[in-house]
Chain A
Amino acid sequence: AQSVTQLDSQVPVFEEAPVELRCNYSSSVSVYLFWYVQYPNQGLQLLLKYLSGSTLVKGINGFEAEFNKSQTSFHLRKPSVHISDTAEYFCAAILTGGGNKLTFGTGTQLKVEL
């Protein structure tokens, strides 16, 4: 079964430091990949998505992610975080040819400290 793994449940980081949130997926076929952000008591907001084309995907709020097929990874990065980036981040995938449903990782809580 397809799965999405987020290796870190919590990532503390100081403001203006770089951050990487890790995501790996298990699939032997093509996938579509997504990163969502969830602020407290709110819905999910799409940060970026990879469907095809360039493996480096740029999203909103200065985030980017790189699709690495050989390592089955889609890590999220930001070169300099801000306090307002404190939130829960979810990696998700769709298995092409397997329907439209998103499979989510368990989430990474990013806590930005002064």
Chain B
Amino acid sequence: NAGVMQNPRHLVRRRGQEARLRCSPMKGHSHVYWYRQLPEEGLKFMVYLQKENIIDESGMPKERFSAEFPKEGPSILRIQQVVRGDSAAYFCASSPGMDNYGYTFGSGTRLTVV
């Protein structure tokens, strides 16, 4: 069991480019959560997805950010037209289902915008 896999581990993008962050949940987990960690801060919730459904996106910025969790393949967090303020560590967590609080976190993707 490989756990929650995130890739890439490190991503460098120039201002204005697009960033795509991938998350493969643990085997048997159908719920995925994305969190962002800014320097010197705790993790902030962004979005909660099930397969093909967005359950809660209350933490997502209104523009440039989107997330999906297709029927097949990993969950994708997409950031369009990146700006320096998007530089952060992005963590994905998965769980077996709603009301099951056995979250497992990935190692994160560290995005640097230059």
Contact = CB atoms under 8 A, between A and B. Distances in A.
B112 interface: no
Contacts of B56: 99-101
Interface stretch (B14-22, B64-72, B73-81, B95-103): B95-103
Interface in A31-49: 32, 34, 36, 41-46, 49
Contacts of A11: none
A42 B31 CA distance: 21
Interface of A: 32, 34, 36, 41-46, 49, 51, 90, 92, 94, 99-107
Interface of B: 4, 6, 31, 33, 35, 41-45, 48, 55-56, 58-59, 91, 93, 95, 98-99, 101, 103-108, 110
B45 to A, nearest CB: 4
B68 to A, nearest CB: 18
29 contacts: A32-B101, A34-B101, A42-B107, A43-B6, A43-B91, A43-B106, A43-B107, A44-B43, A44-B91, A44-B93, A46-B103, A46-B104, A90-B42, A99-B48, A99-B56, A100-B31, A100-B48, A100-B55, A100-B56, A100-B95, A101-B56, A101-B58, A101-B59, A102-B33, A102-B43, A102-B45, A102-B103, A104-B42, A107-B41
Given A44-B105, A46-B103, A99-B48, A105 B91 contact: no
Given A41-B110, A43-B108, A101-B58, 4 more contacts: A43-B4, A43-B91, A49-B101, A92-B43
